[in-house]
Structure 1
Amino acid sequence: MARDTLFSGESKNIEYKITLPDKSEKYMKTIVAFANTQGGKLIVGIDDKTHEIVGVANEILFQLMDGIANAISDSCMPQIIPDIEPQTIDGKTVIIVSVEAGKNRPYYLKSKGKENGTYIRVAGTSRQAFPEKIRELEMEGARISWDELTCVGYPVSKEATEKLCSDIENFREKAGMAERSVKKEQLINWKILKQSEGQLLATNAYALLTSDYFPFSKTQCAVFKGTDRAVFLDKREFIGPIYTQIESAVDFVLRNIRLGATIDGLVRKEKYELPPEAIREMIINAHCHRNLLDESCIQVAIYDNRLEVTSPGGLYNGLTYEEVMNGHSKIRNRAIANIFSQMGLVEAWGSGIKRILNAAKEYGLPEPKFQEFDNMFRVELFRNNSMTESEKEAGESSEKVRRRVGEGSDIIRGYELSDTQKKIVNLLLYDRQLSAAKIAEQLGMGSRSIEKNIKKLKELGILIRHGSPKNGYWEVIDCGKKNNEDTE
């Protein structure tokens, strides 16, 4: 570690002591916390308030070093073996105690026991770990991924299994991947299902991919007025298989940001104010790397100046912020990550952060911000006003979209429409480029039924299709208003 980093102040990986406390427990918490998170260095001989290098007297230097080694050996479980060495800075000697991120987690103080003596680093402090964090540390130490464990009591049904296999095939096709037939045998190989004594058992990953079984498995999305969470403009909560949550959350964001457009001859070219690739990557990463032992849910928040995606759980198993930014990855949820890879949602391990950064750069946006705090990880993608006025006028703002949706009830009033037909109208008021397949997916219905209902809406004159099936869009007509104008 470079000198300017080592002596520029305390951080998640650096802690100073002007001298050793009389009770070793006061600094043993730091040693344990380093081992349980990303490792770090305890430096003795620096004032933690002024950062002044005070040094350690030469006559007691080696006595202190032996005392630190003995205290760590006597106080910590499992065994922590630090690197303890003196270093001379500006003519003064300090002691640097280096602790690596441990592999036999959780580490704790013998005197307090595992439940009360397990500590982790948060920012520049050592804090007692909550029970769910201790459970995750235990699984890290045992090399166990929670999503691969058996979901006791959750049934394996033929219908759910076939739908999951079919959805994986469809995602592969949309991603342009090689055609592959997916059956229950593949799900067993991928540790989504288990075989035991002739029976098929569900894993936690199977439950996450086929249902809303776990209450914490949901994606909360919201639009806020301004730059804080004081006033809601819109909010949705998506449940069900996590890959459908991802699709729904991405669609929610796209519906609630500006869609600019330019007219090139007869061709209308549309462009969102934020790169869809980055939006999708942020939400996929949140689901792929979240801590599934934490009962919080993933949150997607849209403000006037940014998009913010927050997932439960900090960086995993000793991974550092610097490593993440350099493309390194440690997989927290192995089964989910593997399925996402098979579906084409994940292209290459460790590439997600770089893809977000590159997409923002190509769009001319400020550099995205990545934060780890209070056992959460947050990514912020900043909006800007780079769109020209003509692009804004040819496109649509989120406020216009929300206003159109509010007008939906007026449009369909006076018609004897089914609930499905009303839902279709409101969906198309939100996003006029939705295909019948997309509408079917969002409503959880078959495409044929949606197509029949769309045909009826077209016959009533409520829907008009413009352009080709692939690149066209829907227009929702306020027939009641038109009829009133015709009779005046």
Structure 2
Amino acid sequence: MNQENQNIEHKRIWKDEYLKWVSGFANAQGGKIYIGIDDDLTVVGVDNLHKQLEDIPNKIINNTGVFPETNHLVMEGKDVIEIVIEPCGMPISYRGVYYYRSGATKQEFRGMALHQFLLKKMGLNWEDMPCDGATMDDIDDDAIVYFLNHAIEEGRMDPESRKSSKEDVLSNLGLISDGIPTNGAVLLFGKYPQRRFVTSSFKIGRFGADDSDLLNQDQIEGNLIQMTDKIMQVLSSKYLIRPIHYEGLQRKEPLEIPEEALREIIFNSIVHKLQFGTWNQMSIYDDHIRLWNEGVLPEDYTVETLMSKHTSKPRNPKMAQVFYRAGFIEAWGRGYEKIMKAFDKANLRHPEFRVEQGGVTAIIYRDIFMSIRGDQKSIQTEPNRTKTEPKPNQNRTKTEQKNKIVELLAENPMITRTEIAEKLGLHESSVQRRLETLVKEGRIRHVGPTNGGYWEIISHL
């Protein structure tokens, strides 16, 4: 005899409250309820068998509209009633409340989860519904052009598409219904979607010691197709750093997080978000970034599924198709593989993904930022250089140069690298190397954006 699971429930006696379980099974994958078997699988049997075989189906039909299959079984010499509930294509309620079988438990649908469930049962997606009160005037021509340029450049739309009207573009993308832009169309290409969908903006917060220590925040608004560009611009200018290094004579200023991988993570958080849910929220701390979007994974998917080859099951397929055509995401579930490869190439720790609080969280570690602060050794690979044993007088000269730089920074924390080079008679690249060394030694640190901010003296020696 099977233990209780997704499709099996045992009850010692019948109670009318078990009609909730009928609703839950019908709204999920179907299942069986056995009357006359205790939770510990002890067979106790039922009384008044024939009456119950008549009463129970009638109660189920009258209260839920579900037509069950009711069977009489004999187990260990005792009468048991088997109630078979098939999955139903229509939502089933009991006394106005909708239930769902999840694992071995009965869940009650409420709020946004109920709204999403009802749409799904009726074969509808929220993104496909006509946007109430919207007209083609609410669609931004520049957003359409932006999308077409990217899609044509990626080879995923014909160059002739540029000659199409915006009505034709939306129609070809399945984002217009009887001449009315859908919710998905307004979110993707609207002039100001937040007028109708307040939580479609993207929140960024910089935190200090703990979650109560909010240092700075931004809320990125506008259409979704261009939103990631705005997010990346704000992150680069206000929240993340671009450490400078040289490869030979070539100056490099990469973002501390692999840029294409970060874009991919943000794209996915936008595309897979429960669009009528709450905001996408990015919390930035010294040592890591947390990006959370509302919306659970597809049924039978786990975080491990995402990390391996898997079929893409977007929550908002029409919107995902637009992002795919623009070249922003992959259509074959390869996005997470690309993210991991980008972090491997940069010799950085992989991000972690967790299912929590009704959504998915991406945790991105800020190893480079922490390394520059001197809190840990850098795990970033240093550029290849020809290493020779320095002579004693070279050591002394470099030490004197570093000490002088510290003095200059103490006098003027906002002094530029060019000004230091002029005062010391050094090349700017030499000044940059001394600054990097001082940071690694924990004697100084830079506060604020790369182009701006100021230097702080930690130790003069």
Change (3 A) 1:151 1:354: same
Alpha-carbon distance between aligned partners in 2 of 1:477 and 1:15, rounded to the nearest angstrom: 63
Unaligned residue ranges in structure 1 (runs of 5+): 48-53, 89-93, 395-406, 412-473, 479-488
Deviation of 1:148 after TM superposition, in Å, equals: 1.9
1:155 paired residue among 126, 130, 135: 135
Q: Report SS of the residue matched to 1:259.
A: coil
Contact in 2 for aligned 1:169/1:343 (Cα 8 Å): yes
Deviations along 1:271-297, one digit per CA (max 9) or x if unpaired, are: 444333332222222222222333x22
The amino acid across from 1:25 in the alignment is E
Offset at residue 365 of structure 1 (A) = 1.6
Aligned pairs (5 A) from 1:166-315? 166-172=145-151, 175=154, 180=159, 181-182=161-162, 183=164, 184=166, 185-194=168-177, 196=178, 200-208=179-187, 209-210=189-190, 211-212=192-193, 213-214=195-196, 215-226=198-209, 228-255=210-237, 256-294=239-277, 296-315=278-297
Partner of 2:20: 29
In 2, Cα distance between the equivalents of 1:43 and 1:258? 61
TM-score, length basis structure 2: 0.62
State the superposition RMSD in angstroms: 4.9
Q: Give the conservation status (yes or no) of the 8 Å contact 1:288–1:336.
A: yes
CA separation of 1:477 and 1:324: change in aligned 2, threshold 3 A: closer
Give, in whole Å, the separation in 1 of the partners of 2:254 and 2:292. Answer: 25
State the shift of 1:33 in Å. Answer: 3.9
**Partners of 1:96 and 1:320 in 2: how far apart?**
31
For the Cα contact (< 8 Å) 2:203–2:220, is it kept in 1?
yes
Which of these residues, 356, 369, 377, is aligned with residue 359 of structure 2? 377
Percent of residue pairs identical: 20
> In the alignment, does 2:98 pair up with 1:118?
yes
> Contact (CA 8 Å) 2:136, 2:180: kept in 1 or not?
yes
* Contact 2:148 2:326 (C-alpha < 8 Å) held by counterparts: yes
Q: Does the aligned pair in 2 maintain the 1:223–1:232 contact within 8 Å?
A: yes
| Structure 1 counterpart of 2:143, from 164, 171, 187 | 164
Cα displacement (A) at 1:241: 0.6
Cα distance in 2 for residues equivalent to 1:274 and 1:134: 38
Aligned-partner SS, 1:216: helix
Q: Distance in 2 between matches of 1:322 and 1:39?
A: 26
Q: Deviations over 1:224-244 (max 9, x none)?
A: 124x52111221001111122
**Mapped contact 1:105–1:137 kept (Cα < 8 A):** no
Partner of 1:104: 89
State the one-letter code of the partner of 1:286. Answer: S
Task: Give the Cα separation in 2 of the matches to 1:275 and 1:335.
Answer: 28
> Quick one: distance in 2 between partners of 1:83 and 1:258?
66
Cα distance in structure 1, aligned partners of 2:149 and 2:300: 34
1:77-133 C-alpha deviation (Å, 9 max, x unpaired): 4648799999x9xxxxx9999988x56242322xx12xxx21246797534222433
Hey, what's the Cα distance between the residues in 2 that align with 1:371 and 1:352?
17
Unaligned runs of 5+ in 2: 372-376, 384-412, 417-449, 455-461
- Please tell me whether the aligned partners of residues 366 and 382 of structure 1 are also in contact (alpha carbons under 8 angstroms): yes
- Contact kept, 8 Å, 1:311 with 1:377, in 2: the verdict is yes
- From 331, 349, 362, the equivalent of 1:365 is 349
Q: Which amino acid aligns with 1:220?
A: K
TM-score normalized by structure 1?
0.59
Deviation of 1:371 after TM superposition, in Å, equals 0.4
Opposite residue 204 of structure 1, the aligned amino acid is N
Deviation at 1:187, TM superposition (A): 1.7
Give the Cα separation in 2 of the matches to 1:233 and 1:378.
24
Q: Distance in 1 between matches of 2:72 and 2:314?
A: 33
- CA–CA distance in 1 between the matches of 2:227 and 2:330? 19
Pick closer, same or farther for the CA change 1:138–1:261 going to 2, 3 Å.
Answer: same
Q: Which residue of 2 aligns with 1:350?
A: 333
Q: Tell me if the contact between 2:208 and 2:285 (Cα under 8 Å) persists in the aligned partners.
A: yes
Task: State how far apart, in whole Å, the 2-side matches of 1:301 and 1:76 are.
Answer: 47
1:339 corresponding residue in structure 2 = 322
SS of 1:330's partner is coil
Select the structure of larger CA radius of gyration: 2
Instruction: Describe the superposition over 1:36-63 as per-residue Cα deviations: whole angstroms up to 9, x where unpaired.
Output: 467789899786xxxxxx32328669x8
Looking at structure 2, the residues matched to 476 and 225 of structure 1 have their Cα atoms a distance apart, in angstroms, of 20
Q: Which amino acid aligns with 2:15?
A: K
Which amino acid in 1 is paired with 2:222? G
What is the alpha-carbon distance in structure 1 between the residues aligned to residue 304 and residue 64 of structure 2? 27
CA drift of 1:139 comes to 1.7
| 1:161 to partner: Cα distance | 5.0
Q: Distance in 2 between matches of 1:359 and 1:122?
A: 36
